[in-house]
Chain A
């Protein structure tokens, strides 16, 4: 009897999911039909005027750091909150890594790779408004460096190279720098986080020092995301 009950429960769950799938199918069918003949005025405006208005050739960067920079501020706050929660929820007294030891060839390869990773991350950060990349991607690539050190050597070595207090400091510099750069728009007589409309100009599109505040905002977000992800990973992998 109880086995029959179990089987009925399983069938019930599968039926629930399949009903949901049918509902989603009709929903997407309608959305797809709506989409094909509608005109998107906002994205058309961004595509035709975005480069002149913001000075950044990467339109995703111009949406993220100019048109919707306030959104990005909230997003950065989420990462800061997650790193803080992790440092609070997983309190660590001692850092030990369960016994994984690699052959020396792995260690040598990692030490060879790390400078290239640093260059790639810096490139993605600084050219985020011109080419694919940006603050988030560059930050993730930079945060891979302490994660690789943690995996191949140990948590102790990784925290000897990049101390937790330093990582916290870098993350806070990123957060405060973003807000201060936003206030620069207010001091020059424009809105908070304005870069295209602000009076200091956008420069000529396509050069490294152009696009108003966008390269500096990219740099701040990159520092913040890199330090935050490194803190998150080290907090998760440590144990008592």
Chain B
């Protein structure tokens, strides 16, 4: 077991802890982005080979890392950015309506 996998686990659980415990909506969005970055790191680790070069074959390289997880990581980054933007827009709407970002008070103001 390599150390980078442990870093992935730590980042993922840190993000999950942020999502579960924090009361501020902006902090919850930050937790989502932490989870997303840990997943990108995991994709990079899955495609890694020792001593591999980047998958750009302008010369004859011997060992090249796996290009498929890198393409998927690009997808993850783009979709994560879009989802974060939409979440922030919803947070803006909530703040305009309830004048607060605390989820407990938002729950009390229902109706």
Inter-chain contact count A-B, CB under 8 Å?
116
Question: Which residues 45-65 of B sit at the A interface, judged by CB distance below 8 A?
Answer: 46-47, 54-58, 64
Q: Which residue of A lies closest to B10 (CB)?
A: A21
Residue A28 interfacial (CB < 8 Å): yes
Q: Does B98 contact A (CB under 8 A)?
A: no
Tell me, rounded to whole Å, the shortest Cβ–Cβ distance linking A83 to chain B.
8
The answer to whether B46 touches A131, judged by C-beta atoms less than 8 angstroms apart, is no
How long is the Cα–Cα vector from A71 to B1 in the complex, in angstroms? 32
Q: Is the CB of A21 within 8 A of B13?
A: yes
Residues on A with C-beta less than 8 A from B74 are 60, 64, 134, 136
Instruction: Looking at the assembled complex, report how far the CB atom of B78 sits from the nearest CB atom of chain A, in whole angstroms.
Output: 6
Interface majority SS on A: helix, strand, loop or mixed? Answer: helix
- Give Cα A37 to B107, complex, Å: 52
Residue of B nearest to A135 (CB): B74
Identify the 9 closest CB pairs spanning chains A and B, nearest first. A82-B82, A59-B55, A59-B67, A63-B71, A43-B66, A21-B13, A89-B89, A17-B17, A28-B5
Q: Would A63 and B89 count as touching, CB distance under 8 A?
A: no
Closest CB in chain A relative to B77 CB, distance in Å? 8
Inter-chain CA distance A134–B74, complex, in Å, is 11
- Given A82-B83, A236-B92: A59 and B56 within 8 A (CB)? yes
Q: Which residue of A lies closest to B47 (CB)?
A: A43
- Range of interface residues on A (Cβ < 8 Å): 35 or more
A63 in contact with B90 (CB, 8 Å):
no
**Which of A10, A40, A51, A78 sits near B66, CB closer than 8 Å?**
A40
Contact B9 A85 (CB under 8 A): no
In the complex, chain B residues 67-107 whose Cβ is within 8 Å of any chain A Cβ: 67-68, 70-71, 74-75, 77-79, 81-83, 85-86, 88-90, 92-93
Does B16 sit within 8 A of A, measured CB to CB?
yes
B12 and A32 contact, CB distance less than 8 A: no
Q: Mark B27-49, 1 if CB is under 8 A from A, else 0.
A: 00000000000000000001100
Q: Of B67, B70, B82, which is within 8 A of A78 by CB?
A: B82
From A35, A46, A236, give the contact of B46 (CB < 8 A). Answer: A35
Contact with B along A224-240 (1 / 0, CB 8 A): 01000100100110000
Q: B109: CB under 8 A from chain A?
A: no
Interface: A169 (CB within 8 A) = no
- How far is A90 from B89 in the complex, measured between Cα atoms in Å? 7
Contacting A25 at CB < 8 Å: which of B9, B56, B70? B9
